[in-house]
Structure 1
């Protein structure tokens, strides 16, 4: 219809609707921008908190370096006697050893708790921190007398703790870093890596008790067979095995595990 002034009332109505729709779109855009900005700020804040927590943990472990001297890398090492385990035990009586890789950054005390949960979120000084600790399975013998000893640590985004284990997927990295050392109050253990692969957290790779030599032999053969690549290192039922485990951060139940045999000293 056209009014006395020649205006189309329906046309005016359409213009009003278009303006309302434009206003709604503008409001939605503003809301989306605010949501994105809030999400970004929250994520940035979360990363800052996590980063600060990781740094606090890293600083603590750096401070512990004053209780050791530079560790040697030969099989005749007696360096354990020069690590100040007495002072470390005064800080935390749960310490059982010190783990050291020559050039990978793994250089930490090993603790053992009453379960496998506490040290997932507590540092060596028992401070609550997502960086956690490097710790021995609570069911293992503290003096490394078991046939198979498990040691755990986190795979952190700042490349600390056990994150370097992921590099063992590359055989070239293994070739350059085939050994690590465990220093204890009672002597040093040189460990030769013989297998590396990704497995589930519930796999048989974490078995620690064996009823017979045949069962242990079968276990060792499985570890060798599972390896991503052939290391050429032989392992027998007369050997003790030390395994290092960490998350892959790709699946909550996936783990990368590195197996090593303890060389005769």
Structure 2
């Protein structure tokens, strides 16, 4: 009877030792990996919610009545507020929030309405810092930068319009076959225009524009070339 008690006692000691070892291993493992209360957010291609856009739009509109919305590349290449004045001069040296600046602001052509076939946005190419305003558009000249930067959002008061880039080219000043600055085109000139756009494009994106499509035109300067303008065209697509 006494031997049986001794054996049972030894068994209990072994079990307790094993449990102590297991608990120690679990603690050592978990304590070496601290809990991350601020995990890195997962990037998403999902468009911004309309309710959030509406809230931000109202806030920005209260700062400047000329504010129209935001132009945002899904890739993050560019994210700028844009405005519209009664002419195309006001925001050449004025930021969107009405502060004097040689960088100016991104602005929509004064003739445009959001229902036009071609919405035209202008922005400076800032020589001293190419990351500002429309400077980043020059990255699109290289075909290897196209795929990751091809989607553009226009965040407006009550909606988000989505566009896909179709062409990137240099406009030769006064070229009568490359007039990017019409808010609406008749079919004859539309066909002539895009025939020449294709010839002047840096590469073929594989995305076509038809006469009935709405599209977006982005324009900026070219370093040391007063005779050229960089043009990026993107057609509206379903979200």
TM interval, short-chain normalised: 0.7 to 0.9
| Structure 1 runs, 4 residues or longer, greater than 6 Å off | none
Matched, 1:154 2:128: no
User: Which of 64, 74, 81 is matched with 2:51 structurally?
Assistant: 81
Higher relative contact order (CA 8 A, sep 6+): 2
Q: Distance in 2 between matches of 1:177 and 1:230?
A: 15
- Please tell me whether residue 111 in structure 1 is matched to residue 55 in structure 2: no
2:147 to 175, 178, 182: 175
Taking a change above 3 Å as real, the CA distance of residues 168 and 85 of structure 1, as seen in their structure-2 partners, is same
Contact 2:219 2:231 in 1 (8 A): yes
Shift of 1:181: 0.8
Aligned to 2:182: 208
Name the TM-score, length of structure 2 as normaliser.
Answer: 0.73
Alignment RMSD: 2.1
Q: 1:201 to 1:116 in 2, by over 3 A?
A: farther
Residue 222 of structure 1, CA deviation? 2.7
Secondary structure of the equivalent of 1:230? Answer: coil
Indicate how the Cα distance of structure 1 residues 248 and 212 shifts in structure 2: closer, same or farther if over 3 A, else same: closer
SS in 2 for 1:253: strand
Within the alignment, does 1:163 sit opposite 2:125 as a pair?
no
User: 2:162 & 2:169 partners in 1: Cα distance?
Assistant: 21
Match of residue 145 from structure 1? 115
What is the alpha-carbon distance in structure 2 between the residues aligned to residue 242 and residue 72 of structure 1? 23
Q: Does 1:257 align with 2:231?
A: yes
Unpaired runs of 5+ residues, structure 2, are 1-42
Structure with the higher fraction of residues in helix conformation: 1
Distance 1:72 1:238 in 2: 31
